Amino acid sequence: MRQTGANDKIRQVDLRALEILLYPDPRLQVACTPVGEVDGSVRALVGRMLELMFAHRGVGLAAPQVGVAARLFVASPGFDPEDCRVFINPRIVAASGVQEGDEGCLSFPEISCKLKRSARVTIEALDLAGRTFSQEAEELAARIYQHEIDHLDGRLLVDRMGSMARLAHRRALRDLQQRFEKARTT
């Protein structure tokens, strides 16, 4: 029996219908399944995710943010379509230093807070050709990659917020929850 990982789920996705999920959609908190094979359906999903990321003025987007529980994310730390990066089945293999900075998330519009992250990371992943590669990143790129890998593990911005940040954003979080409940009942 062949191992397909998340590929069967990806093949069933209606790419035109994809949209960025907002907190507290439970699909955001699912630990993702590794991609078994980098095929045309994976490449099509990546293309659609890049479109959505740029349309929403983001610098990173993970598959669960569009409702696909697959271990992959896209990024463009400089918000430049010529510098798009794709990470399939990523894992952090080394991390060092500490940085603290503002962090936002497309699934939490208009919310940002200061978070501590590793200042430098090394990531191993597959590219769109299915080849393993390693990439070192620091500062903003390192922050983005760690944030997106959190999504792949079902961990959200709100899970990393300190109590003061939660308090400062309680109204926005409540508004997102109410919006989600209203959408579910209509």
Per CATH, which fold does 7-185 belong to?
Peptide Deformylase (3.90.45)
Model confidence, pTM? 0.94
Spell out where the chain has E strands: 60-62, 72-75, 85-96, 99-104, 112-117, 120-126, 132-138
Residue 135 CA to residue 153 CA, distance in Å, equals: 20
Q: Establish whether 136 is a catalytic residue.
A: no
Q: List, for residues 166-184, the tens digit of each pLDDT value.
A: 999 999 999 999 999 998 8
Greater confidence (103 vs 110) lies with 103
pLDDT (average), residues 81-88: 96
Q: Is the pLDDT of residue 157 over 70?
A: yes
Give one word for 59, left, alpha or beta, with left for phi > 0 and alpha for psi -120 to 50.
alpha
pLDDT value of residue 1: 39
pLDDT value of residue 5: 75
* Catalytic pick among 51, 136, 148, 181: 148
